[in-house]
Chains A and B, each alone.
Chain A
Amino acid sequence: MEPADFIVEMNNISKSFNGVQALKDVSINLKKNEVVGIVGHNGAGKSTLIKILSGAIRKDSGTILINKSPVDLAGPKVARNLGIETIYQDLALAGNLDVTANFFLGNEKSRYFFLRNSLMREEAKRVLQELKIRIESYTVPVEFLSGGQRQAIAIGRAIYNKANVLVMDEPTAALGIEETRRVGELINQLKKQDVGIFLISHDIHDVFDFCDRIAILKNGEIVEICRSTEVTKDDVISMIIKGAR
């Protein structure tokens, strides 16, 4: 692996909450066109790790490099401006607003304070159609849409905001089989568009289906980072539970 390819390098990250060590010296990296899965038990440190990357919480020590330059991820906006977009399980959309409004949430196109709704609708349509996401109505509140469609809108929004690093927290947890497949297709599509993806998941099958590499966390430490082609599901499960193959 050429070290020159890395778009994210997190080195020796540590974090503790009230004396409890959530992360110990964790190092992980990500290339473009790559999906890295992060797996582990509840409390293993997955969420803490990705929240540090998305700027939601701050690390105690360690360094983070984005495209080779050291960065200080002081808040969600800083991370977003660096091209790091995070898709939270079901937190990112306002259910009372329509597809277009959610797509441009906090980033509305306007002229003299007035919303440019038709312009935004066209843009949202264009992006979502490019991603082959079919939505019957762009004016219906998104709470009427399926979980998969909502997830797709969140992904579409991240793409539109020119994400080159996408962090997906349990993207399929609330989805059915068919919808999970759609999200999988989207992930593959994004890979081809030079995006690097961190995928946090409980679902070992998803992780093997979507990921190029798998990072196993236990008690705040990396057990191993391996290529998904070089391990079996049993190996990964055993590492999650026992901390060894």
Chain B
Amino acid sequence: MLSNRKNLLYYVGLFSPLIFLILLILVFSLLHPRFLHPLNIFNVMRQISIGGLIALGMTFVIIVRGIDLSVGSLLALCGLVGAVVAKGGLVERFSVGANADLVNPWYWALIGSVGIGLLAGALNGLCITKLKVPAFVVTLGGLSAYRGAALIVSDGGPISGFDDAYRWIGQGKIGEVPVPVIIFLVFIILCHIVLRYTVYGRHIYSVGGNPEAARLAGINTDLIITSTYIITGFFVGLSAFILSARLNSAEAVAGMGYELTVIAAVVVGGTSLFGGTGNILGTIIGAILFGVLQNGLVLLNVSSYIQQIIIGIILILAVAFDRFSKSTRQV
């Protein structure tokens, strides 16, 4: 049985990111009058949506004891491939304009972007499960290789200028709510349901909790692990498209360092790097936490260099806390 003290610690562990988030919001709203302005709130939400979508996929990966360091580089590659598809090649690259004509409509760009994401995810997953190379190494290789591929596709420069329909995905609103936020919400709900209520979700947790037990129970662990990287690839492709639509531009330097913030959001949200535990709602809290932190620090004119230091420290503290609460949970 759990003692009361351990029980309390367990629940503090469960809710600490939420408590921290609320404190952060309180502090920022006191320090800066415009922090709680609806415009700023929607701005933060839009900001969160792009990294948040990737964090949804990363949650699946980390639950099965994996890690995907290639998401930032892949984001650049996917966005560029989508842009190339829309432009019908590289020739039109410099037709910058608020209302550039596109050879192919936005949904072909979306398919191109997501398609590359899915392929790269499958490649990551197969290298990990079939070649037995650790996920850390495979995706570290991906971090380098996908960035290189992005530089080749873009030939170093950005591809800019999309049409109204394309940009609407990133810049538009439905009512007062930005389109990326709505897309994010839809996938939050979907991922939560899949992870929590389906057989597939159950198998994900079992592979993360005890891969050997899952295998002996007849679960195809290689397939489950690979699928999580494919899911992440899908979300990278989707958010790459949204990002290029928002910026009206795709470039090879997009998504630099995204892997860090995405992994940090997932881990701070309570998904253990040791596998088997975590959930979508925690990841959302983690993503909002970093979004609010960045936004608040910008509003307060804190240097972006210091922001990076703060993110790094919070990540380490979150993992230390996870370790600590794991050790107190041993009954």
Residues of A within 8 A of B (CB): 76-77, 80, 86, 88, 91-97, 101, 105-108, 110, 113-115, 136, 143-144
Contacts and interface: CB of A to CB of B under 8 A. Distances in A.
Nearest to B275: A96
A88 B214 CA distance: 13
A89 B322 CA distance: 27
Contacts, number: 72
Given A94-B210, A115-B198, A106 B218 contact: yes
B208 interface: yes
B131 interface: no
Chain B interface size band reads: 20 to 34
A114 B202 CA distance: 10
B104 to A, nearest CB: 34
Interface of B: 1-2, 197-203, 205-206, 208-210, 212-214, 216-219, 276-277, 329, 331
A95 B276 contact: yes
A115 B276 contact: no
A172 to B, nearest CB: 19
Nearest to A157: B217
Contact of B214 (A86, A106, A115, A144): A106
A120 to B, nearest CB: 10
A97 B205 contact: yes
A105 B213 contact: yes
A211 B88 CA distance: 76
Chain B CB within 10 Å, residue with most, of A76, A105, A108, A144: A105
B57 to A, nearest CB: 19
Given A110-B199, A115-B199, A144-B331, A94 B216 contact: no
B314 to A, nearest CB: 25
B2 A91 contact: no
Contacts of B213: 91-94, 105
Nearest to A91: B212
Contact of A106 (B2, B201, B209, B219): B219
Contacts of B1: 136
B216 A91 contact: yes
- A contact patch SS: loop
A129 B233 CA distance: 45
A96 B209 CA distance: 5
Contacts of A93: 210, 213
A77 B218 contact: yes
- B contact patch SS: helix
Nearest to B2: A144
A76 B221 CA distance: 14
Contacts of B219: 105-106
A114 B197 contact: yes
Contact of B202 (A76, A91, A92, A115): A115
18 contacts: A76-B218, A77-B218, A93-B210, A94-B209, A96-B209, A97-B205, A101-B202, A101-B205, A105-B206, A105-B217, A106-B214, A107-B218, A108-B199, A108-B202, A113-B198, A115-B198, A115-B201, A115-B202
B199 to A, nearest CB: 5
Given A105-B214, A106-B218, 14 more contacts: A76-B216, A77-B218, A91-B212, A96-B276, A101-B205, A106-B214, A106-B217, A107-B218, A113-B199, A114-B197, A114-B198, A115-B198, A115-B201, A115-B202
A115 B197 contact: yes
Contact of B206 (A80, A101, A114, A136): A101
A72 to B, nearest CB: 18
B218 A97 contact: no
A92 B217 CA distance: 8
Given A97-B206, A108-B202, A115-B199, A92 B276 contact: no
A17 B277 CA distance: 38
A94 B199 contact: no
Contacts of A91: 210, 212-213, 216
